[in-house]
Amino acid sequence: MPKTDGGLTKERILQVAEKLFSESGFDGTGVDKIAKEAGINKGSIYYHFKDKNDIIESLFHNILQEVEEHLNKMNQEGAVDSQLKLEDKIKAEIDYLSCKKGILSILFMEALKSGSHSEALFKCAEIFIKNEHSHRMTFTDDKGLAKEELERFFVCEFFTGIIPIISFITLKDKWCDYFNIDENMLLEHFMEAFKKTHLHSHK
């Protein structure tokens, strides 16, 4: 079903807000700036959103939903192509998340602050980790090790897997510019380092 004018306006507001939040930060972006960049009046923004907080909460809600849908799709395809190497799966995830660079930058910036938005990155990471856990590990309560092993798994996946990938995606362009390195070469070097650290833990 085609989107209505109102639906298109709301989508435009979210697109512009994501761009500005990722460039100038949430605190450094006002509703006036969003309206000007989107080519609409402030009234249109307040028609669709209560305030600026409502905008970022909508962005976070959308990315969490998109990630779940993406992983469900990958799980279905993985059932067909179970021979796909873990390294190839990681590269596929990097390709997917590279299209989400703006919202990833916002998630990371907000996680460094205190406040209601700081948990969004961890919620997003939790979706990825639980999905990975369901495929790779089985925990048994009868041995009394389930909780400890699960905590260890979460720490490993987050700090040696998710955070390095987010850092790579959000900083790769600046890294390439500063060090004058080709993006494909950077990816090759990153994957070499990633295999020695995170992927090694999956062996």
CA-CA distance, 3 to 9, in Å (whole number)?
A: 10
Q: Residue 72 phi/psi, 5° resolution?
A: -60, -40
Q: Tens digits of per-residue pLDDT, 88-128?
A: 888 889 999 999 999 999 999 999 998 889 999 999 999 99
pTM of the prediction?
A: 0.87
Query: Has residue 172 got a pLDDT over 50?
Result: yes
Angle, CA 25 vertex, CA 177 and CA 120 arms, to 5°: 105
Query: Has residue 141 got a pLDDT over 50?
Result: no
Of the candidates 162, 149, 157, the one whose C-alpha atom is nearest the C-alpha of residue 121 is 162
Task: Tell me the fold of 1-49.
Answer: Arc Repressor Mutant, subunit A (1.10.10)
Q: Residue 48 phi/psi, 5° resolution?
A: -95, -25
Percent of the chain with pLDDT over 70: 87
Residue 84's pLDDT band (boundaries 50, 70, 90)? low
- What are the residue boundaries of the structural domains of the chain, listed by start? 1-49, 57-202
The 3-state DSSP class for residue 100 equals: coil
Q: Which residues touch 98 (CB under 8 Å, ≥6 apart)?
A: 169
Residue 100 near residue 69 (C-beta atoms within 8 A): no
The whole-number pLDDT of residue 89 equals 83
The whole-number pLDDT of residue 138 equals 43
Least confident of 69-83, 91-105, 149-163: 69-83
The whole-number pLDDT of residue 86 equals 75
